[in-house]
Amino acid sequence: MTSSALTTLPLFPLGSVLYPGGVLPLRIFETRYLAMVGQAHKTGSPFGVVALTQGAEVRVAGAPAERFATVGTLAEIRHFEAPQPALLMIECAGTRRFRIHTSAQQKNGLWIAQVEWLADDVDLAVPQDLAHVSQALRRLVDTLEERRHAEGKDDMRLPVAQPWRFDDCGWVANRWCELLPMQTELRQRLMALDSPLMRLELVADLLQRHGIA
């Protein structure tokens, strides 16, 4: 990997993991991120979301230094609001994964990284022995949609964004990884896996433990 093949990205370290195809609402009020997000919205440029392994999302005096995972996900702003000065409300979509080669923190606290892009999940049909994992997700989405309509909240966003791809290994695995209760470290490890089939198999084990499928 040569330096010319790397891309420079501003980073947003969070206590959560963004998956490709996932949706992430954010409330921005720190100065370092207000400027970054404002510029990203103005120019249509993305930023990188990485999971914190040490430190907190908001800087406080005496807190441990921020450390974060080396694999993250590119975030594109899909919805932007500025309800009051020094406050932004945005919704981001996860697109592609990247691996950090080097990172440096600027004087204002913003992290900038040199990253390489990771391969997207290959399109892979859900095998028959894991069809129950996809079927369980479809049932969940159908139930949430029915509840939304019954309560007259058709404009309320579902936790699983369209387009739905219930026949694709990576998409189904990613959505369950977002929905299931698990530690951030495990969520991060599953996101960083190269094999969507292996990710789905591990999700199937988690569902069995939770008595879901």
- Tell me how crowded residue 96 is: count the other CB atoms within 10 A of its CB: 14
Which pTM does this prediction carry? 0.92
Fold of 128-210: LON domain-like fold (1.10.4060)
**Contact call for residues 88 and 38 (beta carbons, < 8 A):** yes
Cα(61)–Cα(52) distance, integer angstroms:
17
Domain ranges of the chain: 3-117, 128-210
Tokens of 146: 């029915």
pLDDT for 1 beyond 60: no
Distances (CA, A) of 134 to 108, 128, 140, 142, 167: 44, 10, 10, 12, 7
**Tokens describing residue 175:** 């959505």
Rounded to a whole number of angstroms, the distance between the first and last alpha carbons of the chain is 42
Confidence (pLDDT) at 152: 79
Tabulate helix, strand, coil % of the chain (nearest 5). 35, 30, 35
What average pLDDT does the structure give for the chain? Answer: 93
Does the domain at 3-117 match CATH 3.90.1150.10? Answer given as no
CB atoms within 10 A of CB 176: 26
Window from 137-141, 154-158, 202-206 with minimum mean pLDDT: 154-158
Which pLDDT band holds residue 3 (cuts at 50, 70, 90)?
very low
Half-sphere exposure of 149 (CA within 13 A, CB side): 6
d(CA 210, CA 213) in angstroms, rounded, equals: 8
**pLDDT exceeds cutoff 90 at 124:** yes
The pLDDT of residue 111: 97
Burial of residue 118, with CB atoms counted within 10 A of its CB: 0-12 exposed, 13-18 middle, 19 or more buried: middle
Note the pLDDT tens digit of each residue in 125-144: 999 999 999 999 999 999 99
> 175-187 pLDDT, tens per residue?
999 999 999 999 9
Strand partners, 24: 92
The answer to whether the CB of 18 falls within 8 A of the CB of 24 is yes
Query: Which residue has better confidence, 213 or 88?
Result: 88
